[in-house]
Structure 1
Amino acid sequence: MGLTASAHRFVSATALTALTGREVVDNTWTRGDVLRPVHTAIAADHEAIAVYSASVAFLSSLAGGLGNSPFLLAALGTPAPVLLAPSLPPGVGDSPIIRDSLARLAAVPNYHLVQPKKGKSRSTGAEADTVAPMWEIIGTLEASLAAPQDRPVGRAA
């Protein structure tokens, strides 16, 4: 389990550790084990990576191959399933740049995009794309872990 700086505004590492019984990793390069960088540990020690919710900044950086944080570098370097639940502000999903970034990510064999759902924007009140419910992420995660490695979930034979 990992938390970005933004995620710390919504939930505490202490609460997540108590709920999951697992260490919570921060998205920083600082770690006690200097011989095993945090991105290497994340990529090697976890059977999957789920990004919930994936911001426009995270998705764009990942699609561009930018590895400027441990979480991005781990997602770029792991063969394990990487689940992405885009959280797009109103109107951003219609941007050709963002559509291109999402298409690039969807083309990566071990990446799984869990598409946003239509819902009410909390900031504008208008109908907008909203992040998929957590249970859809969990279902996609379970399916990706059960799929044969040579044929990931959602990919044609």
Structure 2
Amino acid sequence: MNLEITLEDERWDGLEPLATRAIAAVLDHCGLDLDHCEISVLGCDDARIAELNAEFREKPGPTNVLSWPAEDLAADRAGDKPLPPQPDFTGEIALGDIAISYDTCVREAAEAGKAMHDHVTHLIIHGTLHLLGYDHIRDLDATLMERVEVEILGKLGIDDPYNV
């Protein structure tokens, strides 16, 4: 897997192994060849992710994770699985970029009484699924995405984050 991790916030020590494990679990679950997939992850703070959220989503304020898919793989019909990504002429599959905010992750994990590494793993899985065309805007799509998240998290020994 070609995983590029950029840490703009030094508090993100340990993000690389968490992101690698989470992304590999998603790609494996989706039947993709890890050796041919490319993803970039930015570990940042609330100030930076708020800038990105305003610039790309026109939403003020910070959020936990953002994703920029390389291509739109979303299914046309609600609840259907997304289209599989296709390799380029070199055989590589560029999936896109993810940004994750340390401040929001710490706050959410504390508020939910969850271990930080479990919450970050969930958010990286969530962001990676967005790169693969999953979404949660329509109810049936949200149900599908959450089910896939829970399946992947279960394989990693992490409890269902939606069963609180």
Query: TM-score, normalized by length of structure 2?
Result: 0.31
Q: Radius of gyration: which is bigger?
A: 1
Of structures 1 and 2, the one scoring higher in RCO (CA 8 A, sep 6+) is: 2
The structure with the largest helix share of the pair is 2
TM-score, normalised to structure 1, is 0.32
